Amino acid sequence: MAESPTVTDTVIDNLIRAKDFRMATIDRFKAQSKIEPLGFRQRMLNKMGTLNNKAPVTKRIIQSELSQEDFPSHVSLTPDGNRRWASARGLSVGEGYAQGAEVIKDFRRWAIVDNSVDTISTFLMSTENIERRPEDELAQLYTVFAEFFNGIAENDLVHNEGIRHEVRGNEDVIQRLPEKVQNSIDVMEDATDSYVDKKMVFLLGYGGRDEIVNAARQTPRGGSQIQVSGEGEDDSQFRQNLLVGDLPDVDLFIRTSERRLSNFMLYENAYAEFIFKDIMWPSYTESDFYQDIYAYSNRDRRYGV
């Protein structure tokens, strides 16, 4: 599980003694108009929600600010920083990614099970990663992937909630993956194939530019095939040739550790709201998730207008 600070009995006692003051202050701030979360109001909520100046903002405080209408439908996720997290702790690359896989499971529960997110697209590995990473590192990652996908096929929560799981990417690249990884993908997809309403898509051996170029090559050209109106070009034919074109446009993009797209879902992220977290993915917590949703809910989405 992701890191979490220890909450001592003394801290809890202090929190209880301060409860009346804290709740009155919170109620006063809640009565005000919402302000961008990085502003004064959010800093005050952060301060009041912090235990002993170490614990993250409690999810309870942020949840009180949210309704299910505030949640995005489609979240795209780049869970970066697993290697650096492991290195800082003297762990292997595989151990870092295994911990990151646990947080992906947690994220699925926070978003799809506990709340109204219905689609998560997760960038597991780019084509460039597969071509450039050292062989011993790739071997560790492939072991983690195989265990992760096989585990999904047997996960009670996945089946109780009816969450479809798929892997998409460059087919030539995926066909070059070790047999154990390919088999685990088949097992996972077969086990969740009948589910429709909730979906988790893993991008493996994927590149955004490659996706667009391949879709363009498959799309018929000529005035009779593509309709243009005053509202712009009809992209329906083009979109159906994209690897993830059947998914709704991304509402919220979250990336940890870095501040760039890295060739991820360039077409589908066109009007997404972006959140970059200055933490490494294995340290991402439930409180981080709710802070990100709160930030998203306070954005004024303009869709290019």
Instruction: List the CATH number of the domain containing 157.
Output: 3.40.1180.10
pLDDT at 166: 98
Asked if residue 216 is part of any domain, the answer here is: yes
Rounded to the nearest 5°, which phi and psi values hold at 234? -80, 115
Residues 161 and 200 in one domain: yes
Residues 34 and 134 in one domain: no
pLDDT at 58: 63
pLDDT at 64: 80
Asked if residue 24 is part of any domain, the answer here is: yes
pLDDT at 151: 98
What residues does 200 pair with on adjacent strands?
120, 165
Residues 43 and 126 in one domain: no
The dihedral sign for the CA sequence 271, 277, 283, 288: negative
pLDDT < 50: residue spans in the chain:
1-9, 12-13, 16, 35-38, 51-56, 223-224, 228, 230, 232
Residues 106 and 26 in one domain: no
**DSSP E strand boundaries for the chain:** 74-78, 119-126, 163-168, 198-206, 228-229, 232-233, 252-256, 273-277
Q: What pTM value is reported for the model?
A: 0.79
pLDDT at 155: 97
pLDDT at 6: 42
Residues 180 and 279 in one domain: yes
Asked if residue 135 is part of any domain, the answer here is: yes
pLDDT at 1: 36
Asked if residue 8 is part of any domain, the answer here is: no
Residues 41 and 163 in one domain: no
Residues 105 and 151 in one domain: yes
Active site residues: 80, 129
Residues 109 and 203 in one domain: yes
pLDDT at 29: 61
The domain in which residue 47 lies consists of 13-55
